[in-house]
Copies of this chain bind each other. A is one copy, B any other.
Amino acid sequence: MGIRTVEEYKKSLRDGRRVYLRGEKIEDVTTHPILGVTAETVAQGFALTASEDPEVRNLFTAPHPKTGEPINRYFITPRNTEDLMMRTKMIQRSIELTGGLPFGRDIGTDCLNAAFVVAGQMGKKQYQENALNFLEQARKNDLAMCGAVTCVKGDRSKEPSQQKHPDYYLHVVDKTKDGIVVKGAKIHITSAPVANEIIVVPTRQMRENEADYAVSFAIPANTKGIVFICRGGRGAWTEHEFHPDYPARELTEAMIVFDNVFVPWERVFMCGEWQFSMLLAYTFATFHRFTAISYKVPAVEAMAGCAVAMAEYNGLEKVGHIRDKIADIAGYVETLRALTNASAKDPVMYAEIAVPNPLITNMAKLHFAGKYHEFVKLIQDIAGGIIATSPDKKDWENPDIHDYLEHYLGGSARYSTEERLRMIHATQRMLCSHEAAFHEVTTVHAEGSMAAQKMMILAEAPLKRYREMAKRSAGISS
């Protein structure tokens, strides 16, 4: 088939998977008030590949490298800067076109691309073939997939083997002729409840005595023993908010429990090769942070736009300190964009696979995460307290008080009160809501904490070169 329709995708989710949310078991994720929004959000990725607009279709699909048949472009393993730039562009355009982030293949292929790199470095042909076969299956069946990386970790000061029980990190508990049995739980897994396949990679470097924890594989979401426990999200628009003319978009994370799950050998990409667990975690992190910095660009552009618009609606766009803050806001956004592009333009090659520049990618992620709260503060400062205390759409519609709101909530005379109120609501959603706080936390923690980025910066930066330059200045021979 190669390219599935939205309906085909949705139908594939009614497969008996075990999903819980807010204490209840969900029978059909596609029709649930919250998960239905998530399914619809991811489904937009299928709408894009099936678009009638050739510009859109040609961006989101690509010819299969061998057969030439159209496949989803995320299934193109990047071989050069152009492929990486296309990935960035796809991510950014998908947000622009759908109003949300149809994360159905991004993180899964971040895992898979890392698995390819590592399989190549391990020199284990079987793993390479397994990964390639799985990719072909994904291309052919146009599979939605999530990437399951972060283990629950228990006591963070202890290694996997020192924990109260061995299951705080996912591990192999049995091996048979046909496959392996794994146990553990992965947490914070984006879009997991609406994926067809789960790609698992280790959450960190493993040591020799942790070989059972060095495991990577792909597994269908409805496999026996797999349970999804989901975050409760916001769901659809409410009648109390002004909203855009497209449906609410949302991704939902889940904790995925692997309760002695069987994985056949042909789906295994690593099993015990602890020496390569570091490279796998590290390469995944690079691919994944590249995905992150790509999707954050349009996210922060829209937020920056709230500052620009609210300044105008409030009549403040020419005030010195407001302009100064907008310059800082723009600097934050454009530094992110420039570094994102730079990491694609200066890739590191592993055999034929192009990995985004790890140093620049990690700096971009750290830029984004480390300065996000300051960016938020600037926009909240410009927008005003009204984004916290604004009346809602039902107030506006109540004839008893409508005229008061119309009369008193105007700003610059160039805009109508309703227009201003709509912008207030959009700004509230992005900067003064549960989602706003949620994004602060995910900005800090998704794709690894800032400490993780600093670790990789230390590993990748040319510290020796710096030192040699200092020694030369000091007149010390090396």
Contacts and interface: CB of A to CB of B under 8 A. Distances in A.
A231 interface: yes
A404 B449 contact: no
A19 to B, nearest CB: 10
B412 A155 contact: yes
A29 interface: no
Contacts of A231: 388-391
20 contacts: A156-B319, A157-B412, A185-B408, A243-B475, A302-B472, A305-B468, A324-B324, A327-B457, A330-B461, A331-B363, A331-B366, A331-B461, A333-B461, A338-B342, A341-B346, A381-B450, A385-B445, A388-B445, A432-B437, A434-B434
A349 interface: no
Chain A, interface size category, equals 35 or more
A125 interface: no
A120 interface: no
B391 A319 contact: no
A374 B373 CA distance: 7
B157 A473 contact: no
Nearest to A430: B473
A69 interface: no
A231 B231 CA distance: 26
B450 A388 contact: no
B437 A316 contact: no
A321 to B, nearest CB: 6
B392 A326 contact: no
A422 B474 contact: yes
Interface string A360-393: 1001001100001110110011011111111111
